[in-house]
Amino acid sequence: MLVIPNQSPIPLTQFNSDGHSKQGNSDRTEGHLTAERWIEDAKTAEALYLHVPFCFHKCHYCDFYSIVGNESQYESFVDQFIKELTIVGSKLDEVTTIFMGGGTPTLFEEPLFAKMLNAVHTHIPRAETCEWTIEVNPETMTEEKANILVATGVNRVSIGAQSFDTTLLKSLERWHEPESVARAVEFVTSAGIADFNLDLIHSIPGQTREQLLFDIEQATSLSPTHMSCYALTYEPNTPLRTRLERGDISRLSHDDEAAMFRLVREELVYRGYAQYEISNFAKPGHACKHNIAYWKNKNWWAIGPSASGHMNGRRWKNTPRISEYLKFDSLPSVTDVELLSSNESAGESFMLGLRLVEGMEKVWVNELLEQSEGNWRTVVIDESIQKGYLEWFRDCLRFTEEGQCFADTVITALLMQDAENTDTTPQD
């Protein structure tokens, strides 16, 4: 019997709310290949991801590309960033969503911050209803920066609260004070941005049910239109993972992690937030359009070092080296280039589409099963339905409420290439 790896009763996090994506196996090519080979495809991009890599502190759970310090590179980075924006923007039709993440996009002082955002405003063609989100570190937001956001067309922000408990913030190595979250909210809403997300992390080592309830209460008291609530993940090559392996911290049990997830879902729904994706909740009309584009496997272009793009089944990542990024004359070099097979593309579509609470339409599911090699994905789906993890509802395949707690198990099974004897039973 095939044992499925990474059996955790918490949702998958390969594609999370900040628009970053993790790469699978691929041919690594660096220093000579650029996206110029397929830039003409950019006209089909519906979404744009912009990556600003600088931070004033590296959180110990973060495995995204970020650079601490190096203030001397800020201006050079913005100049190169604008150069890339100009090239890509000339190839784009109107995009419907933009997401600027990091790193800490709000780290720069106001003049440089304004220069960067004005460039996006100038060079990127946007649909009239374009959703433009920027990630905000609470400590770095000022009244002037909030006004710059509004002046340049940003209409949505995502604020990294993570927790309102000082002990838990210290455990996460987050340096902001809880009060700074409310202050950041006041700045952006007073400037005219009513649509904002708050990020929370749950299942932190030592976290109690009472602490999680406190975090939810504090977050919702600020009236965000959107909440992203992810279980803490222990990514390889992060200080957090090292601490776990050394025994310095203890991960919550699978049952406790699942209980935390259920509590988040129950409390946010009670407070008027609709769960539209496993870890994301929104007030009516405020689901994140950019994230939905990811989960429906739409085309998106990426700008900035280490930013990952997807166009017509081709994935790539811009160079993750700032020194390399600052040297390019046209587009930056790329790495992790892969062209997905029909079978791989089907697996990825299941991975992403099943994250949506509404699920996947039967027509789409059947198309993906036809793309798959053999009938093993049909077997996985049938077994998952029998176990109560998946269900057909209004001609859509979706997770049941209990099945959401075991999304990792089911989706891992659907991704596997050699799954003749796939067992979807959760492993302890």
**387 touches 372 (CB < 8 A):** no
**179 touches 166 (CB < 8 A):** no
Q: What is residue 106's DSSP assignment?
A: T
According to DSSP, the residues that pair with 230 across neighbouring strands are 201
CA distance 153 to 121: 7
Q: Say what the pLDDT of residue 129 is.
A: 96
Strands 95-102 and 126-136: parallel
Q: Please check whether residues 285 and 352 belong to one and the same domain.
A: no
Segment-wise mean pLDDT, segments of 10 residues, the chain, 428 residues: 34 38 38 86 96 76 64 94 97 97 93 98 97 95 98 97 91 83 98 98 93 97 97 80 81 90 97 97 97 93 95 93 91 92 92 95 96 94 96 96 92 72 41
Q: Please check whether residues 206 and 264 belong to one and the same domain.
A: yes
Residue 319 lies in a domain: no
Residue 246 lies in a domain: yes
Residue 385 lies in a domain: yes
331: Cβ–Cβ under 8 A, 6 or more apart, which residues?
Answer: 34, 35, 36, 39, 84, 87, 88
How far, in whole angstroms, is CA 127 from its chain's centroid? 22
What is the H or E stretch that residue 290 is in?
A: helix 289-295
Strands 280-282 and 226-231: antiparallel
Which range marks the domain in which residue 358 is found? 341-419
Q: How many domains does the chain have?
A: 2
H-helix segments, 124-279: 143-152, 166-172, 178-191, 209-221, 239-246, 254-270
CA distance 183 to 189: 10
Residue 301 lies in a domain: no
Q: Say what the pLDDT of residue 249 is.
A: 81
Q: Please check whether residues 84 and 181 belong to one and the same domain.
A: yes
pTM tops 0.75? yes
Q: Say what the pLDDT of residue 63 is.
A: 58
Residue 136: CATH number of its domain:
3.20.20.70
Q: Please check whether residues 61 and 153 belong to one and the same domain.
A: yes
Q: Please check whether residues 212 and 70 belong to one and the same domain.
A: yes
Give the Å distances, CA to CA, from 117 to 36, 72, 214, 306, 377: 24, 20, 35, 19, 44
Q: Please check whether residues 252 and 345 belong to one and the same domain.
A: no
Q: Say what the pLDDT of residue 250 is.
A: 83
String of DSSP letters for 181-219: HHHHHHHHHHHT---EEEEEEE--TT--HHHHHHHHHHH
Question: Which tokens sit at 182?
Answer: 């409310």
What is the H or E stretch that residue 117 is in?
A: helix 110-123
**Burial of 147 from C-beta contacts in 10 A (0-12 / 13-18 / 19+):** middle
Residue 329 lies in a domain: no
C-alpha dihedral sign at 318, 323, 326, 330: negative
Q: Please check whether residues 257 and 363 belong to one and the same domain.
A: no
Residue 404: CATH number of its domain:
1.10.10
Q: Please check whether residues 284 and 356 belong to one and the same domain.
A: no
Q: Is the peptide bond before 103 cis (omega within 30 degrees of 0)?
A: yes
Q: Please check whether residues 146 and 228 belong to one and the same domain.
A: yes
CA distance 352 to 316: 17
Strand, helix or coil at 279? coil
Q: Please check whether residues 88 and 227 belong to one and the same domain.
A: yes
Give the Å distances, CA to CA, from 130 to 30, 125, 133, 134: 33, 10, 10, 13
**Burial of 25 from C-beta contacts in 10 A (0-12 / 13-18 / 19+):** exposed
Q: Say what the pLDDT of residue 64 is.
A: 58
Q: Please check whether residues 290 and 346 belong to one and the same domain.
A: no
How far, in whole angstroms, is CA 26 from its chain's centroid? 21
Q: Please check whether residues 233 and 374 belong to one and the same domain.
A: no
CA distance 35 to 42: 10
Residue 228 lies in a domain: yes
Burial readout 109-122 (b: 16 or more C-beta within 10 A, e: otherwise): eeeebbbbbebbee
CA distance 421 to 351: 19
